[in-house]
A and B are shown apart, each in its own frame.
Chain A
Amino acid sequence: MAEILQYVHKDAFLHRLHPYTKIFFIILVTVMAIIATDIPFLILMVIALLAFAAYGNVLSESLNQLKLILVMSVIFILITVITMPNGETIGYVIPQGVPLVGGLIPITVGGLMIGVVLTLRFMILIFAFQLFLISTQPRDIVHAMEKIRVPIDYILMFIIALRFIPTLQIEGQRIHEAQLARGFNPGTGVLGKVRSVSPIVIPLVSNALLRSNVLGLTIDMRGYRTGKRTHVRERVFEKRDYAVMTVMVVAGCGFVALVLARMV
């Protein structure tokens, strides 16, 4: 099963970087992706991120969710084409030959462009965030966030939310199988679909609540919330971090120059 947004233990370039370097990286990439509207530039960013993933030996993990991303992209583009028609019409979603409804939804250059830009931004954000999570141990995230004074309860909430995604996935799968064996009918129509989720969702939520009780007690008993900590095996800022930071600052300046020159 593809593990969504989980840390993967490796000894590679990205893994060895300091969490701050990677947090700065996410911020920079996010800002660039939001400001830029130039499609070739955004495509270049996607390629750069994937190259970065390949260099850090986490390319296959990064592409785990590609299917989901592509489906989302198609939906994004469809929505913008339908809701934001603008400029020259280059075709129709429903071919003109179809009686009655033919030619109702025009595909416009403007709508298509906005859709593509949104999709690329979405991809960039997902890939950047994934790179960070795949290559950073939650323990290091806790340390880094603690240092910038994020309250420990919020950090733990964030870590736990991510940690239990696969657990819930597996549990959901088991419940689904148990109900299928009892003749579970996935239902038809909107109302039927909504009604049919209760045999899956109720056990899933009930079991999760039970589990969260044990989880909460465990956190307290291990003293994670006391905030007192011995500093052991902590990441230090190394040469490679300074090098990457320098590259990012240069790239940031270059980007500002491009923006001022109205090139992106």
Chain B
Amino acid sequence: MIELTDVSYTYPHTVQPALHRVSLSLKKGRCVMVTGPSGAGKTSLCLAASGILYHEYGGKKEGTVIVDKKNVSEYKSLSDLAQNVGVVFDDAEAQMIFTTVEEELLSALEHRGLSAEVIEERLDGIIRTTYLDEIRDRSPHHLSGGQKQRVALAATLALGNDILILDEPTSELDEHATQRIAEILAELKNQGKTILLVEHKYHHFRDMVDTLVILENGAITASGNPVTVLEDTRIRGMIFPDFSTIRKAVPKPSGSDPVISVQNLSHSYGDVPALSGINLTIHRGEFVAIVGENGSGKTTLVKHFNQLLSPTGGDVIINGRNTKECSIADLAHHVGLVFQNPDHMFFADTVLEEIAYGVKNLDIGNGDAVIDAALRDAGLSEMAGLYPRWLSRGERQRLAIACVVAMQPGIIVLDEPTTGLDGYEARMVIDMLKNLQEKGHTIIIITHNREIAEHCADRIIVMENGRIITDSEGA
């Protein structure tokens, strides 16, 4: 159904090709999964395979792309191509244009030249397949990440094409929501759809993948039956990261003062309770993982540590001071918070200036040395002069951490620091955090990844519906 032969592509105004002599064949009813480090060209590959690259982008293009027996150049326009291929992009929010789920799907269906009866019938079918019945009338602002992704998928299914291309549909989702997407895709494959899937989480999709493709630096480095491809230990490490060797014997902090003490904390957004009855003590030098489903209150809890949120009830004591008496700027000296999406903070022209911003704000002495050290620890010394948004996701994540580390807070809190990264990149981030712990920092991470929690953290806190349900020593 899709045939790429020797496809190379270089974006306008860049030198390095994003894709280099990529050949790929996707047969009817099969599923090909593409994986690789961030910045390897996976999104470019999706754009190339769907013909979007040919029709919408400038730059240098070589090789041929055949979609459904026709060269992409023979299709008149994107709308013409869309008669054959459906693409689900990674940003689900941008794919919801209308104000209710049903409206979104109806709008997609009405442009296919179908009769009104067929539209109603297909609408019901799609809603059933993607489990959207309960949220038919909800607006995009009232959907969770997983629900939005399902709506984006459903709207693409509405087009009724046999070929589906999905670009990291589960990167922001927790285990449960990812599993749901995997089940839906497996069902679609059973119905005869041909699927090109870009993903990191192979283990959720292993039963449906026929061919596994590894893309690195724009070129395919391995391709074939998943079992054979995974015999290579290096590739295994990329897909199944090994965190078991990461634990180092960090001397247990003995009887040290608590750095964070949460006493009977509760918080509500308006009438909606988000946290209730939270009691928690964290000591200097601990590595704590907070796990739980989306919406269980993890992010709400950590925002209290630097006063981005104030308790509705109870107290939060940081280094002996009640947060109610401190400003956010005061607390920035003690608690560093790295948010899930690094792109929410980058605004400077260079990596160096980006790190310097926080250092200047807090008036930290010996700034240049501090910034150099942060760059080195993040493995970004050679990129100091680059524009932050040009870096790969893995590099941007480490830069985000470096920005916070340079501010020298004793406590570093990270929300989902391994989102969208492959095994090696995730490992680099975790190694960086382990080194910080050795230097005496207290590390708190929020993560969906059980393996990271179990192998790296000294303590695992499980949250559910705004409460801590277990708090135990790590393995």
Chain A residues at the B interface, C-beta cutoff of 8 Å: 3, 6-9, 137-139, 142, 156, 159-160, 163, 166-167, 170-171, 174-175, 177-185, 198-199, 202-203, 206-207, 210-212, 214-215, 217-226, 228-233
Contacts and interface: CB of A to CB of B under 8 A. Distances in A.
Given A174-B339, A214-B95, 15 more contacts: A6-B141, A9-B138, A139-B103, A159-B98, A177-B308, A183-B358, A199-B347, A203-B347, A207-B344, A221-B87, A223-B82, A223-B159, A230-B112, A232-B119, A233-B116
Interface of B: 52, 56, 77-79, 81-82, 85-87, 89-91, 93-95, 97-100, 103, 106-116, 119-120, 137-141, 155-156, 158-159, 303, 306, 308, 328-329, 332, 336-337, 339, 341, 343-347, 357-358, 361-362, 389, 403-404, 407
Contacts of A174: 339, 341, 344
Given A139-B107, A166-B141, A218-B89, A230 B114 contact: yes
Contacts of A138: 97-99, 103
A225 B107 CA distance: 11
Contacts of A139: 98, 103, 106-107
Contact of A217 (B89, B303, B347, B362): B89
Contacts of B85: 221
Contacts of A233: 106, 116
A179 B362 CA distance: 12
A49 to B, nearest CB: 23
Contacts of B306: 181
Contacts of A178: 337, 339, 344-345
Main secondary structure of the interface of A (DSSP, over half): helix
A137 B82 contact: no
29 contacts: A9-B100, A138-B97, A138-B98, A142-B107, A163-B99, A177-B308, A178-B337, A180-B308, A182-B345, A182-B404, A183-B329, A183-B358, A183-B407, A198-B347, A212-B94, A214-B89, A220-B82, A221-B85, A222-B108, A223-B79, A224-B107, A224-B111, A226-B79, A230-B109, A230-B110, A230-B111, A230-B113, A230-B119, A232-B119
B358 A6 contact: no
Contacts of A166: 141
Nearest to A217: B52
B332 A203 contact: no
A86 B99 CA distance: 48
Which of A170, A198, A224 has the largest count of B CB atoms less than 10 A from its CB?
A: A224
Contacts of B141: 3, 6, 166-167, 170
A181 B337 contact: yes
A79 B341 CA distance: 43
Contacts of A215: 94-95, 97
Identify the 10 closest CB pairs spanning chains A and B, nearest first. Answer: A183-B361, A202-B347, A223-B111, A220-B78, A214-B94, A181-B337, A182-B358, A7-B99, A232-B116, A221-B82
A142 B103 CA distance: 12
A6 B99 contact: yes
A137 B98 contact: yes
Contact of B86 (A142, A160, A183, A221): A221
B95 A199 contact: no
Contacts of A198: 347
A254 B187 CA distance: 63
A226 B110 contact: no
B97 A181 contact: no
Given A182-B361, A198-B347, A211 B111 contact: no
A232 B107 contact: no
Nearest to A220: B78
B332 A181 contact: yes
Contact of A232 (B110, B308, B361): B110
A199 B111 contact: no
B99 A137 contact: yes
Given A217-B78, A228-B113, A230-B110, A160 B347 contact: no
Given A211-B91, A218-B95, A225-B79, A183 B100 contact: no
Nearest to B81: A221
Contacts of B78: 217, 220-221
Nearest to A199: B347
A206 B341 CA distance: 13
A23 to B, nearest CB: 18
Given A221-B82, A225-B79, A180 B328 contact: yes
B345 A160 contact: no
Contacts of B56: 217, 220
Contact of A211 (B94, B139, B346, B362): B94
A206 B336 CA distance: 24
Contacts of B357: 182, 199
A216 to B, nearest CB: 8
A182 B329 CA distance: 8
Contacts of B90: 214
A33 to B, nearest CB: 27
